[in-house]
Amino acid sequence: MQYLERMKVTRRNQNRPVAHGLRNLHNGATIMQDLTDRRGGSRSSGFTMIELLVAIAVIAVLAALAIPNLLQSKIASNETATISSMRTYVAAQSMYIKTDFDQDGRLTYAEHFRDLYYTLRSGVPLGLIDREFADAGSADKPRGGYFFEDLNSFEGGSSFDYTVEFGLSALPAGYRKSGINTFVVDASGCVFQKDRGSNDSLGGVYPDVFAAGSGWIPAPPE
Ligand SMILES: [Ca+2]
């Protein structure tokens, strides 16, 4: 009798871990399901919104830091390219004066800088400067953030003798947006620069360059 009782108890105990395990297994699955549900649920609402807002805030901060730097480096590269164009122009003029293109018996500089490209030799454009540069001046459109103008265009063309002299100016198309300095160059080959503020008139610029205390300084070398 006691033996039988013991057998029953043993069997009950043997069954218990199995049943217990199954119950745990079932609970585990339920817990996992709960976790999945909860995570899935929150991902489609609050948590994703917070992530988005944080991402937007981070991007806004980075943009606020980067945009002024981008603008500054854009201005710096425009100015460097413009100074280089002014020097190219001087080199082109010094080539141009070696040939009497219009066969009038006089060696002269090109009166307009577009002539440095468009003057024909044997029916072919000279191309002493590139066409885009030549077009920029005549079409009154900026190139690399700068308007280029012949000296005679803004000085009335009366006070200079272009058989011995030439000049070119470059004015920022957008002050503090595409450039800061105004540049001028003449036959001396020295490019001068000055921050003239938002003044977009070139009147009186050239005589001002060599006036004492006018604030014009030589542009940095390449
Ligand atoms: Ca000539």
Query: For residue range 122-148, what is the model confidence (pLDDT) as tens digits?
Result: 899 999 999 999 988 766 789 999 999
pLDDT digits (tens, 9 = 90+) for 59-112: 999 999 988 889 999 999 999 999 999 999 999 999 999 999 888 898 888 888
- Tell how far the Cα of 184 is from the centroid of ligand 1, in angstroms: 25
Q: Where are the domains of the chain?
A: 2-44, 75-218
- Tell how far the Cα of 110 is from the centroid of ligand 1, in angstroms: 9
pLDDT digits (tens, 9 = 90+) for 9-23: 445 545 454 445 445
Residue 151 scores a pLDDT above 80:
no
The crossing angle, in degrees rounded to 10, of helices 2-43 and 46-96 is 40
- Tell how far the Cα of 83 is from the centroid of ligand 1, in angstroms: 28
- Tell how far the Cα of 121 is from the centroid of ligand 1, in angstroms: 13
Q: Which residues contact 108 (CB under 8 A, 6 or more apart)?
A: 97, 162, 163
- Tell how far the Cα of 58 is from the centroid of ligand 1, in angstroms: 63
